Structure 1
Amino acid sequence: MLSIFQKKIFLADLLEGFTDFHNHLLPGIDDGAKELDDSLAMIRKFNEFGITNFVASPHVMGEFYPNTPQTILPALEEVKKALPKGNSIKAAGEYMMDQFLIDQLEDENVLNVVTNYVLVEMSYFQAPINLAEILFKIQNKNLKPILAHPERYAFYHGNSLNKYEDLKARGCKFQLNMLSLSTHYGTGIHKKALQLLENGMIDFISSDAHRMEHLEKIQQLKLKKTQVKLIEPVIEKSKALFN
C-alpha cells in the first residue's frame, strides 16, 4: 500500500494489471530486441513492476522496416514458445503514416492493437504532407488511429495546442510514452507531455520500450502527487482498452 506521506510515487507502483501495447519486444525485426534472449529479459523486467500482458508493436516503415504480418507473426510465435509462465503476448504494429501504410490498408494487411484501434506514428522531422488523407483512409477502413507519443513531435510544440486539437478533431487518440514523464527525451518533450496531460488530451500511456535501459528508467521513474492525479485516469483508460 502506498504511504500517504510519500512526497513522490514510483510510476511502476501504478501499473499492476496494465497491458503494455507499445513496445519493441519482438526479436530481430526492428530497432528493438535483437535476439530472443533480449525479448525475454525485457519481459522479466516488465514483470518486476506488475506488467504481464503485452501487445508487441514493431515499427512498420516502408523505407526501413517494411514489416507485414508475414514477418511479425513468426517473430511473435518465437517469443510465445519461450514466454515465461503467467505472461501473454499478441502482436500489432507501430505504423509510420506513409505510402506503405496506405498500401497495407488497401490490402487489409494491418495488425490492430485491439478491436479496431491501430497504432500510428509520424516522422520526428515533419508531419506527412498527406496527413489528412491518411487519417481518412484509416477511418474509412473502420479503424481508429492511436497516435504514438504526440509529445515527441517537436514541430507541433509551441504555446498553442491548435495542431493537437486538429488531430483530435480528425479522430486521433493520443498515447503518451512513459519516459516522457521524465526528461529522458529532453526537457521540451517533458514539458509538452505535462501540458497535454493538464489539458486532458492524453488518452493512453505505454512504454515504447526498445531495450532494457528504457525499462530500468521506467522502474525508477518517480512522480509528484500532482502528476499522479493526472496520470492515474490515463492508466485506467489504458487498462479498460483491453477489458
Structure 2
Amino acid sequence: MFHIFNKKRNNTLEWLQVDMHSHILPGIDDGCKTVEDSVDLLQRLSALGLDTFYFTPHIFQDMYPNTPERIGQAFQSLQAAATPLLLGGYAAEYMVDGHFDQRMEKDDQPLASLPGKHVLIEMSYIQESKSVEKNIFDLQIKGYQPILAHPERYVFYHENPKAIERFKDLGCLLQLNILSVFGYYGSREKKVAKYLLDRGLIDFVGTDAHHDRHVQMLERGLKKEDIKPYFKKCNLKNQSLLHCTT
C-alpha cells in the first residue's frame, strides 16, 4: 500500500503492515493530547512502513474511564484530519480489575474490540491480577478472543518468564511491544521479549506508541537494526485483522 512519506529506507516495518496497539487517539488517555500530535505520529509511523492503524486507548475506571462511545468520537475527529492515512478502526486496552469484572457481568454492554472480537487486556505492571484467568474464561464464554498486552513488561514475570506460557494454554493470545526488542523499557523487558520470541509465543506486535519519544526511539532503532529476524519463529496475526468480518 501507499505510504504518504514513502522514501528509500533500509530497515522498515513493512513486513508488519498493521499496528494494532497504540495510544495515538487524541485527548482521551496518557497518549497524544491533540489531533495535530496524532497526525504527526501517524505520518512518521507510515514513513517507517506501517500502513494500517488500529487504536486502543485505556479503559481503566480509576484513571481513564473511557467508553466505546467516547473512543469512537476521538477516532472520528482523527479520521477527519488524517486522510489519506488508513485508520483501520478502534478498540480499547482494558485493565482487568474489579471494574472490569462488573463490566463483564453486564451482558448489554459490548466491549470495544478489534476485528474478529479480539479484546486487548492488561494488568498492573507490579502485581498479577488474581482474576485474570477468570477474565480470560469469561471473555471466551462471551465470544471474545482475549489478547494479553505486553507480557514482557510485567515485572512479576521477569524472574520466571515461563509462567507467561500458561496464557497460551488458556487460549489467550500474546501481544509484544516493538520497543521491547530495542531495550527501551529496560534490559529485563528485552530479555523476556527474546524468551517469548525465541519460543514463537507472540501472536501480535504493536507500537504501543503514546508520544513523540516512542516514535523517535523506533526511528532511531530501525536505522541501526533490522528486527524482522527476531519474529521469524512467530506466526504473527496483525495482518489477519484486515480480513476479519466482525
How many residue pairs end up in the alignment? 231
Q: Flag the 1:206–1:127 CA change in 2: closer, same or farther, 3 A.
A: same
Q: Aligned-pair distance for 1:232?
A: 4.3
In the superposition, the TM-score normalised over structure 1's length comes to 0.88
Q: Do the aligned partners of 2:178 and 2:205 also contact (CA within 8 Å) in 1?
A: yes
Indicate if the aligned counterparts of 1:151 and 1:176 stay in contact, CA closer than 8 A.
yes
In 2, the alpha carbon distance for the partners of 1:189 and 1:241 equals 26
Per the alignment, residue 123 of structure 1 pairs with 124
Of 107-116 and 171-180, more deviation after overlay is shown by: 107-116
Task: Say if 1:17 and 1:122 are closer, same or farther in 2 by CA, change over 3 A.
Answer: closer
Letter paired with 1:170? L
Aligned-pair identity (%) = 35
Unaligned runs of 5+ in 1: 1-8
Aligned residue runs from structure 1 range 200-211, under 5 A: 200-211=200-211
User: Cα deviation per residue 1:66-109 (whole Å; 9 max; x = unaligned)?
Assistant: 11112111111111111121422411000111122233332333
Let me know the Cα RMSD of the aligned residues: 2.0
SS at 1:14 equivalent: coil
Which residues of 2 match residues 86-165 of structure 1 at below 5 A?
86-105=85-104, 106=106, 107-159=108-160, 161=162, 163-165=163-165
Taking a change above 3 Å as real, the CA distance of residues 43 and 159 of structure 1, as seen in their structure-2 partners, is same
Q: Which residue of 1 aligns with 2:7?
A: none
Gaps of 5+ in 2: 1-9
Secondary structure of the residue that 2:61 maps to in structure 1?
A: coil
SS of aligned partner of 1:37: helix
Instruction: Tell me if the contact between 1:152 and 1:189 (Cα under 8 Å) persists in the aligned partners.
Output: yes
Maintained 8 Å contact 1:102/1:137: no
Report which stretch shifted further, 188-197 or 44-53.
44-53
Q: State the shift of 1:233 in Å.
A: 5.7
Deviates more, 1:151-160 or 1:118-127: 151-160
Instruction: Indicate the residue corresponding to 1:5 in structure 2.
Output: none
The Cα shift of 1:183 comes to 1.4
After superposition, give the CA deviation of every residue in 1:109-137 in whole Å (9 maximum; x if it has no partner): 31111112101111001111122221121
Rounded to whole Å, the distance in 2 between the matches of 1:217 and 1:55 is 20
Match of 1:68 in 2: 67
- The TM-score with structure 2 as length reference comes to 0.87
Which has the higher mean CA deviation after the structures are superposed, 101-110 or 129-138?
101-110
Rounded to whole Å, the distance in 2 between the matches of 1:17 and 1:194 is 18
Amino acid at match of 1:85: P
